[in-house]
Amino acid sequence: MKCKQNLFLFILFFFSLTLCAQEKQKRIEINTRKLSMIFTVDNSNRIIYQYFGKKIEAPNSTFFNRGFVGQPDSQEDLAPLMYPSYGGRYYLNPALKLTHDDGVLTTDLIYAGSDSKIIDSNRKETIIKLKDRLYPIYLDVCFISYLKEDVITQSVKITSQERKTLKVENIASSYLPVHAESYYLTHFNGTWAHEMQQEEEKLKHGIKVIESKKGVRTAQAQSPSFLLSLNHMSQEDYGEVYGGTLAWTGNFNLSFEVDESDRLNIVTGMNPFASTFSLSKGESIKTPEMIWTYSDKGRGQISRNLHDWGRQYGLAGGDKLRPIILNSWEGAYHNFDEKIITDMIDDAANFGVEMFVLDDGWFGNKYPRNSDAAGLGDWQTNTKKLPRGLPYLAEYAIKKGLKFGLWIEPEMVNPDSELAKKHPEWIVQSGKREILPMRNQWALDLSNPKVQDFVYETFDQVVSQSPYITYIKWDANRHLDNVGSTYLAKDKQSHFWYEYVNGLYKVYERIRAKYPNIEIQLCSSGGGRLDYGAMKYHNEVWASDNTNALDRIFIQYGTNLFFPAMATASHVSTSPNHQTGMMLPLKFRFDVAMSGRLGMELQPKDILGEEYNVAKKSIEDYKLIRPIVQFGDLYRLVSPYNGTDWASQMYVAKDKKESVLFAYSLNYHGRTTFFETRLKGLNPEKNYKIIELNKKSGKSSFPNEGEVFTGDYLLKIGIRLNITDAFASSVLLISEL
Ligand code: GLA
């Protein structure tokens, strides 16, 4: 009897313990309108990564630990942690790797509290604090949730209170565990004039790494932006997709590891390559932000979330319409004088262009910038080419009704320049090794505060010459190799990669504090820099030096998966194209450029006869559709990658009253083939009238032009266009009645 009683008491005790443990299970939730990210604290004070995905409307009072099931390891041991460090039983690619001051290689992080604060009605910050179980190491894992845009960003700050030096060998921005039947990664590769080329692959067991070690132009060959689709290849309008993009303008590393339990472990952050960071007592280091979003309705929604977020938080002046620009580069290169430029401004004004940008070639006297071989670093106006200086040109443009902008490349220097002779110690160099040129130039060492001052002052001096210089194209035309710094101490050389980017950001901060309204274009040989870390200080990006409209369809498709059209500078250039030699109709070139921030990059005098009217009319039409393209929602209809040789997309105004559709034929399709597509994003209950803009020889490619359709019809049945010839195209304006 006694024995039974004891058993009963034991069972009661056991259940109350479990209940107690369940009640006590600490849960941290980060929510947006449609997403939840959930962590719990387990009995040994570790933070378990429970979930990130579609919003959990009614969470359980307890969560189980989603670990590896089976022997010899226990499920508990291998549950995914919020921020896994190397140590304990963790055997996968960790987010954190430290060497402590006594030589110990492992770290064991436990929960040390959390804080949250409402930033405003749309944003909440949640900081989860971690500390090592034995060592005085403290981490703040910081999340900012953006309610309306369904975006969550994550960054990490580590502080050491160890007596001697703590070595931080790897500190990622985020870790995400996902469990599904299969995983499909969409990532982007490229090279100069061929950036943001999409590739999608099924992830197998082992690690797939996407990374850059180039320091500058880090997004040229690989991109820090990706999509991860669950269970099938990513689709436009259905299926679960994660979108991730690292806001870092330096080396990055994204690792995707499918482990032995078929779980996918994603670690994203700065590249730890040759970057061990030494922290003294009381010092901290902060990672860049990893930007996450998720959709259970395909990749289309991922883009729309990021575009909304980007316009509001991710780029400068995201609430202002972008002007139509004529850039001098492909029209004049380095070969111009004042007359050539003022003539270009006159012609631009006649076309209805709103800003003139003087590209490379305007500076350098002792070493004139007449080619890319000399002058970089000497930011004084070349008095031979432009005797009356920049203020004269800027004022000239203003009088003609155009704004004025300029090209600079302040991080770089030609060996043939006054600057290189004066400050050889400012150049990135590895001890006594040869300093390798790239495009005839060296890079300045932005880890050095004196170089930061120089870069800031270059910008400041250039723009303060005239109140009419209101736009800067900021270029950076090489990557970093053979790196090292004469400024950093011997034992801090591995801080170089980090300090270069931080130096760059410090300069941008100073510039933006003084010049919040100057428009700045992010350019790095076109598309070499494409990340939200840099975008934050810029209004737009030059997505590629390749201005060939056909190639631009692919490059802009990749770019616009993550970055909005308003920030994608897209210029009409001459035919045959200077990069590819390809000849394309002017209408096609305009119709492609109009799907981003329209500009021209050619000698306007070369546009003659009927082409003159096409150009003028296109510019006029763009002004009509500009608010829809720049502020609207992007709906992709046909991907250029799907092998049909068509491409099409729509922009729909937020109130769904107006939308614009672009359709392109990328090849000849045969006489009996038509382009057919259903429309997206419209209101099924409204009526819409469709007219074609910029018609070819006044003839519409849409046989039902001018007719009225119900939204329901357009969404379910769609339209048919006669654009079967190679490089035929169509732009339709769809307006609610
Ligand atoms: C880079 C840019 C171009 C142009 C040239 C000038 O290549 O990407 O657009 O500005 O530099 O040298």
**pLDDT tens-place string over residues 343-369:** 999 999 999 999 999 999 999 999 999
Contact partners, residue 400, CB within 8 Å, separation at least 6: 345, 346, 348, 349
Going by alpha carbons, the residue nearest to atom 8 of ligand 1 is: 525
Task: For a ligand 1 pocket test, name from 191, 330, 475, 571 the mutation site with the most ligand atoms within 8 angstroms of its C-beta.
Answer: 475
**Distance, CA 620 to ligand 1 centroid (Å)?**
27
Q: Which two tokens stand for residue 461?
A: 């001096």
Select from 309, 227, 218 the least CA-distant residue to 527. Answer: 218
Q: Does 387 share its domain with 340?
A: yes
Spacing, Cα 663 to ligand 1 middle (Å): 29
Residue 30 in this model has a pLDDT that exceeds 80: yes
Q: Which domain-ending residue is among 285, 314, 343?
A: 314
In whole angstroms, give the CA distance from residue 680 to residue 662. Answer: 13
Residue 11 has pLDDT above 60, yes or no: no
Distances (CA, A) of 89 to 106, 645, 730: 10, 51, 59
Distance between Cα 114 and ligand 1 center (Å) = 47
- Rounded CA separation 702/719 (Å): 8
CA 343 – CA 534 distance, rounded (Å): 34
Atom of ligand 1 nearest to the CA of 473: 10
Both 339 and 359 in a single domain? Answer: yes
Does any ligand 1 atom lie closer than 6 A to the CB of residue 360? yes
Is 126 a domain residue?
yes
Q: Exposed/middle/buried for 47, CB within 10 Å: 0-12, 13-18, 19+?
A: buried
Ligand 1 centroid – CA 326 distance (Å): 14
Domain identity same for 614 and 710: no
Nearest ligand 1 atom to alpha carbon 524: 8
Based on the fold, state whether residues 190 and 151 are members of the same structural domain.
Answer: yes
CATH classification at residue 396: 3.20.20.70
Quick: pLDDT tens for 320-343.
999 999 999 999 999 999 999 999
Q: Distance, CA 476 to ligand 1 centroid (Å)?
A: 9
Residue nearest to atom 9 of ligand 1 (CA): 545
Question: Does some domain include residue 492?
Answer: no
Residue to probe by mutation, ligand 1, list 372, 407, 411, 577, most atoms within 8 Å of CB = 407
Residue among 192, 220, 357, 360 whose CB has most ligand 1 atoms within 8 A, to mutate:
360
Cα 319 to Cα 317: distance, rounded to the nearest angstrom: 5
Are 309 and 340 in a shared domain? no
Q: Is the CB of 372 under 6 A from ligand 1?
A: yes
Q: What is the pLDDT of residue 14?
A: 38
475 lines ligand 1 (CB under 6 A): yes
Judgement on whether residues 458 and 577 belong to the same structural domain of the protein: yes
**Confidence at 12, pLDDT banded by 50, 70, 90:** very low
CA distance 78 to 455: 49
What is the C-alpha to C-alpha distance for residues 109 and 246, in angstroms, rounded to an integer? 24
Does a structural domain hold residue 217? yes
What percent of the chain clears pLDDT 90, i.e. is strictly above it? 91
> Is the separation of the CB atoms in 86 and 94 below 8 Å?
yes
Distance 248 CA to ligand 1 centre (A): 22
Q: Is the same domain home to 585 and 666?
A: no
Q: Out of 3-7, 186-190, 379-383, which region has the weakest mean confidence (pLDDT)?
A: 3-7
**Percent of the chain topping pLDDT 70:** 95
CATH of the domain at 302: 2.70.98.60
Question: Rg of the chain's alpha carbons, rounded to an integer?
Answer: 28
Residue nearest to atom 12 of ligand 1 (CA): 360
- Which residue range forms the structural domain that includes residue 641? 637-736
Residue with more model confidence, 270 or 5:
270
158 Cα to the center of ligand 1, angstroms: 39
Mean pLDDT for the chain overall: 95
Q: In the predicted model, is pLDDT for residue 654 greater than 70? A: yes
Counting the structural domains of the chain, the total is 3
Pocket of ligand 1 contains residue 477 by CB under 6 Å: yes
Which tokens is 490 given?
């011997």
pLDDT of residue 77: 66
Instruction: Find the range with the poorest average confidence among 35-49, 75-89, 254-268.
Output: 75-89
Same domain, 185 and 154: yes
Residue 525: inside a domain: yes
Residue 381 lies in a domain: yes
Global pTM reads: 0.96
Does some domain include residue 214? yes
Nearest to 85 by CA among 127, 51, 43, 46: 46
Distance of CA 436 from the midpoint of ligand 1 (Å): 20
Region 530-544: what's the mean pLDDT? 98
Cβ(328) – ligand 1 distance below 6 Å:
no
CATH for 731? 2.60.40.1180
- For ligand 1, say whether the CB of 329 is within 6 Å of any of its atoms: yes
Same domain membership, residue 307 and residue 202: yes
Ligand 1 centroid from CA 688, angstroms? 43
Please check whether residues 340 and 468 belong to one and the same domain: yes
DSSP for 117-132? Answer: EEEETTEEEEEEEEEE
Q: Give the pLDDT band of residue 75 (cuts 50, 70, 90).
A: low
CA distances from 383 to 373, 457, 681 (A): 19, 21, 54
| Domain end (from 585, 609, 631) | 631
**Does residue 718 fall inside a structural domain?**
yes
Q: Residue 80 gets which letter from DSSP?
A: P
DSSP string across 333-362? TT---HHHHHHHHHHHHHHT--EEEE-S-S
Any atom of ligand 1 within 6 Å of the Cβ of 359: yes
- Cβ 562 vs Cβ 225: under 8 Å: yes
State the pLDDT confidence band at 58, using cuts at 50, 70 and 90. confident
Test site for ligand 1: of 522, 525, 541, most ligand atoms within 8 A of the Cβ: 525
Task: Give yes or no: residues 284 and 335 share one domain.
Answer: no
Are 626 and 681 members of one domain? no
For residue 264, being part of any structural domain is answered with yes
* Residue identifier of the C-alpha nearest atom 7 of ligand 1: 525
Closest ligand 1 atom number to CA of residue 372: 12
Mean pLDDT across 72-78: 59
SS3 734: strand
Listed in sequence order, the DSSP H helices in 25-147 are none
330 Cβ below 6 A of ligand 1: no
Best probe residue, ligand 1, of 372, 477, 552 (max atoms within 8 Å of C-beta): 477
pLDDT of residue 76 exceeding 70: no
To test the pocket of ligand 1, the residue of 523, 524, 571 to mutate (highest count of ligand atoms within 8 Å of its CB) is 523
Q: Ligand 1 center to residue 684 CA distance, Å?
A: 45
* CA 438 – ligand 1 centroid, Å: 14
Q: Which of 563, 598, 631 is the last residue of a domain?
A: 631
Predicted confidence at residue 697, as pLDDT, reads: 82
> Residue 601 CA: which ligand 1 atom is closest?
9
Distance of CA 525 from the midpoint of ligand 1 (Å)? 6
Does ligand 1 come within 6 angstroms of the Cβ of 526? Answer: yes
pLDDT of 429-475, one tens digit each? 999 999 999 999 999 999 999 999 999 999 999 999 999 999 999 99
**Ligand 1 contacts CB of residue 442 (under 6 A):** no
Residue having the nearest C-alpha atom to atom 1 of ligand 1: 525
